[in-house]
Amino acid sequence: MSELETYRQTARAFLNAMAPKYARPARQGNTVEQDLALGREYMAARYDAGFAGINWSPEFGGQGLSNLHKIAFDAEEMRYGMPVGFFGISLGMPVPMMIHYGQDREFVKERVTKALRGEEIWCQLFSEPSGGSDLAALRTKVEPDGNGWRMNGQKVWTSWAQYADYGVIVTRSDPTVAKHKGLTYFWVDMKAAGVEVRPIKLAGGDSHVNEVFFDDVRLEDNQRMGEVGGGFGLALHTLMIERYIATDSAGFGPHLDLFVKLAKETQLNGRPAIEDGRIRSAIARNHAMRAGLDSITQRAMLMMQAGMQPGPEGSLQKLVAVRSRQKLSELALDLQGTAALPFDQHAYVKEDWGTSWLNAPTGRIAGGSDEVLLNTIAEKVLGLPQDYRPDKGIPFNQIPA
């Protein structure tokens, strides 16, 4: 058995032991606060068992293992529905950025450990009302204030900000240069004076994203990450860190097996729907597509194991999978007719077609919209030209609003 396979089995043993207390069935009916408390407990147990910061350096409480080990663990953990959602962004991007760029190394170490144990949560404050895809259009500004900075402005769509202790943030430090040149990156204390968080209720009924307002918030210069004016580069770095994540060809919705089961159980024109050509076609096409994504993932894993760099086709996962999840969920509802009308907003999106359908649009927007991902593939992978950008090269304060 390969070393990685052995690792997978150890992980499974740990997860099996944790499951009765923390997995999806145990969470049924929890309020968000109860779930968060349970999540913190699980994170601490996971830390103690040596499954936290798997591919991070031991210097920062990590395990010093490979990206493959991390992906293997994540893929196993995903099957259980553990209460880890609150910590995904925190450990996915902001904390690794602190490890890279945090100035006060002792402070960083302390934060990393607490974040890995689920005691502290970090959020990512990038998007603003003035632009999400167009990150460099942001307006939250910092001005020199003695030996530090003063920050004013607003962020939006900040996941888990209401539970966050800290955040990483991109701000405008110089409005007189081209828009992506005048940005500076900081970490911010979410409990500091002048920070106000207001949850936003999403279409699916939950409120995990927020508006965050900054009113004369004081930042010390040692909260700066990277150079003054280097914020855009750090923002790009932040978005690159998440390359090594477990993928899900079901687009984080229900597995195709559940659709096949539904089609066998549902009658259509007096016959099982699985005998209906339209349903069969949908199943077959989805299977072919998902199998392709799974093979892309498997090959990427093999390449990493062989010390090679996986190809750019990995960037297709979210684009292809979430779109298809959205359509398949629609079809699953359509297939059931009025039987699809009873709805439980708390049903698990990986098991329920209703919540999968209603929450699918967020997956096509968050973390890069479909259109932006297509642009990235076209430009970065295929070498096609950039879009026409009328604001290119113009000082930020001269771009017409």
Partner 1 sequence: MSMLYDEGQQAIATESRRVLDARMDKGRLLALLEQVGGIDQPFWDTAVEQGWTALALPEEHGGLGLGLTELGLVAQAAGAATSGAPFLTVGYGAAQALLAAGHTGDLAALAGGEKLATVAFAEGSAPLPAKSVVSFADGKLNGTKPAVIGGLKADLAVVLASTNGTPVLVAADLTDVTRTAVPSFDNSRLYADLVFNGTPAVQLAEGAAALGLARDVLARMAVVTAHEQVGGAEALLNIARDYALTRKAFGQPIGAFQSIKHRIAELYGLIEVARANCIHAAASEGTEEFLIAAADARLSATEAYDTASRDCVQIHGGIGVTWDQGLHLHMRRARSLGIEQGNLLFWEDLLVDQLAGEAA
Ligand X SMILES: Cc1cc2nc3c(=O)[nH]c(=O)nc-3n(C[C@H](O)[C@H](O)[C@H](O)COP(=O)(O)OP(=O)(O)OC[C@H]3O[C@@H](n4cnc5c(N)ncnc54)[C@H](O)[C@@H]3O)c2cc1C
By CB under 6 A, what part of segment 343-362 binds ligand X?
362
Nearest distance, CB of residue 158 and partner 1, angstroms? 29
Q: How many residues bind ligand X (CB under 6 A)?
A: 21
For ligand X, the binding residue among 65, 89, 235, 322 (CB under 6 A) is 89
In the bound state with ligand X, the residue whose beta carbon lies nearer, of 159 and 249, is: 159
Residue type for position 67? N
Which of 6, 57, 133, 176 is close enough to bind ligand X by CB under 6 A? Answer: 133
CA dihedral 59, 62, 68, 73 (to 10 degrees): 180
Residue number with CB closer to ligand X (61 or 96): 96
User: Binding segment for ligand X among 11-19, 120-128, 242-250, 272-280 (CB under 6 A)?
Assistant: 120-128
Applying CB under 6 A, among 66, 90, 127, 238 the residue interacting with ligand X is: 127
What is the binding site for partner 1 (CB under 8 A)? 256, 260, 263-264, 274, 280-281, 283-285, 287-289, 291-293, 295-296, 298-299, 302-303, 306, 313, 316, 319-320, 371, 374-375, 377-379, 381-388
| Partner touching 287 among ligand X, partner 1, none, CB below 5 to 8 Å by kind | partner 1
Query: Which listed range, 2-10, 94-102, 122-130, 325-333, lies at the site for ligand X (CB under 6 A)?
Result: 122-130
Closest CB 63 distance from ligand X, rounded Å: 26
The secondary structure of the chain, three-state, reads CCHHHHHHHHHHHHHHHHHHHHCHHHHCCCCHHHHHHHHHHHHHHHHHCCCCCCCCCHHHCCCCCCHHHHHHHHHHHHCCCCCCHHHHHHHHCHHHHHHHHCCCHHHHHHHHHHHHCCCCCEEEECCECCECCCHHHCCCEEEEECCEEEEEEEEEEEECHHHCCEEEEEEECCCCCECCCCEEEEEEECCCCCEEEEEECCCCCCCCEEEEEEEEEEEEHHHEECCCCCHHHHHHHHHHHCCCCCCCCCCCCCCHHHHHHHHHHCEECCEEHHHCHHHHHHHHHHHHHHHHHHHHHHHHHHHHHCCCCCCHHHHHHHHHHHHHHHHHHHHHHHHHHHHHCCCCCCCCCCCCHHHHHHHHHHHHHCCCCHHHHHHHHHHHHCCCCCCCCCCCCCEHHHCCC
Tell me which of ligand X, partner 1, none is bound by residue 209, counting a contact when its beta carbon lies within the kind-specific cut-off of 5 to 8 angstroms: ligand X
Q: Which is nearer to partner 1, 3 or 257 (CB)?
A: 257
Tokens standing for 296? 């892309």
**366 binds ligand X, rule: CB under 6 A:** yes
Residue nearest to ligand X (CB): 132
Shorter beta-carbon distance to ligand X: residue 266 or 375? 375
Min dist CB 33 to ligand X, Å, is 20
Q: Comparing C-alpha atoms, which of 94, 85, 120 is closest to residue 208?
A: 85
| 157 binds ligand X, rule: CB under 6 A | yes
* CB 211 to ligand X: min, Å: 11
Q: Based on C-alpha coordinates, what's the Rg of the chain?
A: 22
Smallest gap from residue 291 Cβ to partner 1 (A): 4
User: Which of residues 276 and 370 has its CB atom nearest to ligand X in the complex?
Assistant: 370
The binder of 37, among partner 1, ligand X, none, by C-beta within 5 to 8 A per type, is none
Q: Which of residues 373-392 bind ligand X (CB under 6 A)?
A: 375, 387
Phi, psi of 31 (to 5 degrees): -75, 165
Binding to ligand X by residue 131, rule CB under 6 A? yes
Determine the distance from the C-alpha atom of residue 29 to the mean position of all C-alpha atoms in its chain, rounded to a whole number: 24
162 contacts ligand X (rule: CB under 6 A): no
Tell me: does residue 122 bind ligand X (CB under 6 A): no
Residues that bind ligand X (CB under 6 A): 89, 124-127, 131-134, 157-159, 209, 362, 365-366, 369, 371-372, 375, 387
